[in-house]
Amino acid sequence: MTLIDLANPSRFLALTARVLPWLAGATVILLAIGLYQSALAPDDYQQGATVKIMFIHVPNAWLSMFVWGVMSIASLGTLVWRHPLADVAAKAAAPIGAAFTFLALLTGSLWGRPMWGTYWEWDARLTSVLILFLMYLGLMALWRAVDDPSRAARAAAVLTLVGAINLPIIKFSVEWWNTLHQPASVMRMGGSTLDKSFLIPLLVMAIAFTLLFVTLHLAAMRNEILRRRVRSLQMMQASRVAFPSAGSRRDNASNEVGAA
Amino acid sequence: MMTSLGPYASFIVTSYAAVALVVVVLIGWIMLDYRSQTERLRELERSGVTRRSGRGAADRS
C-alpha cells in the first residue's frame, strides 16, 4: 500500500482496523518491560531514587516536540501537496501532543522541587516548553473556532509551521542560555553520558511512548474521518429537508474528506 | 515499596500516577469518541442518508 492509496479515507480506515490491535499490543508489552526496567534501575549517586522520574519525564518531553514535528510535516501536506488526510493528521495529533507536553511540564516540576528546590523557574527551557503547550492549546481552539474544516486546516497549518520555530529554541535553549535545566545527556555530539543502567530503560520507555503516540494518533485520525463523514451526512440530510429535489447540493455536501 | 524510594517517594509516585491518569483519560476519550461517531453514523444511515459511494447505481442516475 502506497502513500497515495492512503489518501483514500476508506482505505485508511481499513488499514487502521488491521494495524491498531497489533500496535496497541506492542505498546502494552514495551511499556510493561520499560516500567519493570525503570523499577529495577539503581539510584543515582546524586539524585537518589528521584532519577526514576527521568524515565517518564524525558519520553514525554521528546514526544512534546516530536508531535509538533509530525504536525508540521502534516501542515506541509495540507499547504503544498493538499493531501486529503494531512489536516486530519494534524488536527488529531494536537490534543495528544498537548497531553504529552503537559506531562513533561508536570513531571519536570515534580522532579525539580526535590532537585532544584523549586517547582518552577522562568528559565529558557521551561519557558519555551510552556510556550509550546500554549501553542497546542491555541491550535485546538482555532480548530474549534472555525466551522469549515478546510479553512481551519489552512490557518492551523500556517500557525503550526510558524510555531515550529520554537522546536530548535527548546532543543538548544540549554546551550544558548544559562538555565537551571541540565544540558542534553542522550542526544548529543560525542554520545550519551548516561550509564547503561539508566540509558536502556530510558530508551525502552521512549520507544514505548512513541508507539503509544502512533497508536493513539491513528485511532484519533480514524475518529476525525468518521466525524467528517457524520458532518457531511448531516449536511446532506439538512439539504434534503430544505431542498427536496436538490440532488446537486447533496453531492456537494459529500465532497469532504471522509465522505467518499 | 515507598520506603525504598527514599525521602522523595511522594514526588516519584505522584509523577507516575499523573502520567498513568492522563494516558488513561486520553485512551478513554478516544474510545468514547469512536463509539459516539460510529453510533451517529449508524443513526444517519438508518434514517436513509447514505454516502455517495454507498448509494446504488439506480439512486445515482
Q: What is the pLDDT of residue B4?
A: 81
Alpha helices in A84-195 (DSSP H): 86-116, 124-145, 149-163, 166-176
| Min Cα separation A190/chain B (Å) | 30
Q: Is the dihedral of CA A88, A234, B29, B38 positive or negative?
A: negative
Q: What is the pLDDT of residue A97?
A: 97
Measured between CB atoms, which of B22, B23, B51 is closest to A229?
A: B51
Phi, psi torsion values for B17, nearest 5 degrees:
-65, -40
CA distance A15 to A7: 12
CA distance A78 to A82: 4
Q: Do the Cβ atoms of A68 and A214 come closer than 8 Å?
A: no
CA distance A256 to A228: 7
Q: Is A231 exposed, middle or buried (0-12, 13-18, 19+ CB in 10 A)?
A: middle
Kindly state the DSSP code that residue A49 receives in the 8-state scheme.
G
Q: What is the pLDDT of residue B1?
A: 44
Per-residue pLDDT of chain A (260 residues; tens, 9 = 90+): 566 666 788 888 999 999 999 999 999 999 999 999 999 998 888 888 999 999 999 999 999 999 999 999 999 999 998 888 999 999 999 999 999 999 999 999 999 999 989 999 898 999 999 999 999 999 999 999 988 878 889 999 999 999 999 999 999 988 888 877 877 777 776 777 778 889 999 999 999 999 999 999 999 999 999 999 998 888 888 887 777 765 555 455 444 555 44
CB contact under 8 A, B23 and A229: no
Asked whether residue B61 carries a pLDDT value surpassing 50, the answer given is: no
Asked whether residue B12 carries a pLDDT value surpassing 90, the answer given is: yes
Phi, psi torsion values for A44, nearest 5 degrees:
-80, 145
CA distance A69 to A53: 25
Report how many Cβ contacts below 8 Å link chain A to chain B.
Answer: 100
Q: Which residue has the cell 502534516?
A: A74
Kindly state the DSSP code that residue A43 receives in the 8-state scheme.
P
Angle at B29 between CA A1 and CA B15, to 5 degrees: 105
CB contact under 8 A, A254 and B51: yes
Q: Which residue has the cell 494534524?
A: A90
Q: Any idea where the domains of chain A sit in the sequence? A: 8-181+192-226
CB-CB neighbors (< 8 A) of A50 in chain B? 6, 8, 11-12
Q: pTM score > 0.90 for this model? A: no
Q: Is the dihedral of CA B39, A227, A68, A125 positive or negative?
A: negative
